[in-house]
């Protein structure tokens, strides 16, 4: 699969939840760009050659007022594809306006089910309503972190989501340095939910692609709320792969693909967009 140019943009740090298992520390779950910086981000996207998928996350994007007031109306004027990862706490009226503004360029909506904050039945009912507003071409996914200590309850959650005709996407719990080591009781339950050897379309098990050719930095990069761009999430974690800042004009794409040197690829976006070459 040829690489599909993709940007993962952390539009803001603020979040209206405080999940006990959040991988982002409270210290980093803060802040958002100013109106002037949003305009600079939009100008940067407008100048990008070709069509990119801009996949936004936070914090929680909808918890930042500027997301619906400025970012989405601005992106709606550009040719790029738009995706979002959200905790799905925004009211349906706001979500309806989001769908209407983005229109047929809406690529993927990933909604994360956080049972510490929502009732599963109400979440699923809301998701069904929202799904009915999307074109069939727009992917809609319900993410669920396999939170340690709760995994025995999650087969029923998966069944409830799937019974509603929705895609359930399990994610193993990540830690600062890798993946949570589930105990002997929970590990088989995790594997029953994810499958023994899932593809990146079936589950996020944060595999290693060390040694594979990857277009991170060339056809894919991650962008934070301060404008800093990195080749990928893992590179950023190690303080590597810095591509410059899109707000001060220092951003440059890497010259070409490189061989992955990391033991974890924590997000399925590179695998599912052809950024990392997985072969047949």
Binding site for ligand SF4 (CB under 6 A): 15, 17-19, 22, 24, 58-60, 87, 114, 209, 214, 216, 232, 234-235, 260, 262, 265, 270, 276
Residue 170 or 270 having the CB closest to ligand SF4: 270
Residue 226 or 238 having the CB closest to ligand SF4: 238
Residues whose CB is less than 8 angstroms from the CB of residue 193 and which lie 6 or more positions away in sequence, other chains included: 146, 151, 154, 155, 158, 170, 203
Least gap, CB of 15 to ligand SF4 (angstroms):
3
Least gap, CB of 36 to ligand SF4 (angstroms):
25
Least gap, CB of 209 to ligand SF4 (angstroms):
4
Query: What SS3 string covers 22-83?
Result: CCCCHHHCCCCCCHHHHHHHHHHHHHCCCCCEEEEECCCHHHCHHHHHHHHHHHCCCCCEEE
Angle, CA 233 vertex, CA 232 and CA 237 arms, to 5°: 120
Least gap, CB of 228 to ligand SF4 (angstroms):
16
Q: To which residue do tokens 């810095």 refer? A: 242
Least gap, CB of 261 to ligand SF4 (angstroms):
7
């Amino acid at each position: 699969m040829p690489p599909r140019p993709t940007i993962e943009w952390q539009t803001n740090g603020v979040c209206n939840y405080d999940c006990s298992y959040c991988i982002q520390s409270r210290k980093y779950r803060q802040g958002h760009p100013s109106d002037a910086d949003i305009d600079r981000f939009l100008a940067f996207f407008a100048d990008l050659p070709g069509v990119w998928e801009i996949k936004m996350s936070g914090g929680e994007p909808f918890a930042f007022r500027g997301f619906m007031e400025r970012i989405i109306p601005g992106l709606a004027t550009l040719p790029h594809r738009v995706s979002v990862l959200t905790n799905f706490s925004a009211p349906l009226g706001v979500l309806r306006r989001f769908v209407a503004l983005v229109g047929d360029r809406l690529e993927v909506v990933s909604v994360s089910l956080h049972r510490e904050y929502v009732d599963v039945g109400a979440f699923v009912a809301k998701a069904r309503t929202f799904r009915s507003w999307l074109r069939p071409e727009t992917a809609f996914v319900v993410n669920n972190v396999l939170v340690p200590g709760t995994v025995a309850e999650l087969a029923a959650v998966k069944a409830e989501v799937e019974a509603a005709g929705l895609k359930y996407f399990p994610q193993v719990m990540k830690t600062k340095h890798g993946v949570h080591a589930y105990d002997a009781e929970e590990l088989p339950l995790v594997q029953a939910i994810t499958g023994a050897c899932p593809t990146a379309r079936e589950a996020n098990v944060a595999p290693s692609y060390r040694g594979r050719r990857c277009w991170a930095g060339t056809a894919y990069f991650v962008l934070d709320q301060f404008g800093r761009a990195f080749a990928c999430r893992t590179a950023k974690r190690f303080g590597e792969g810095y591509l410059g800042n899109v707000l001060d004009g220092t951003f440059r794409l890497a010259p070409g693909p490189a061989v992955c040197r990391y033991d974890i690829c924590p997000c399925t976006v590179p695998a599912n967009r052809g950024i990392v070459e997985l072969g047949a």
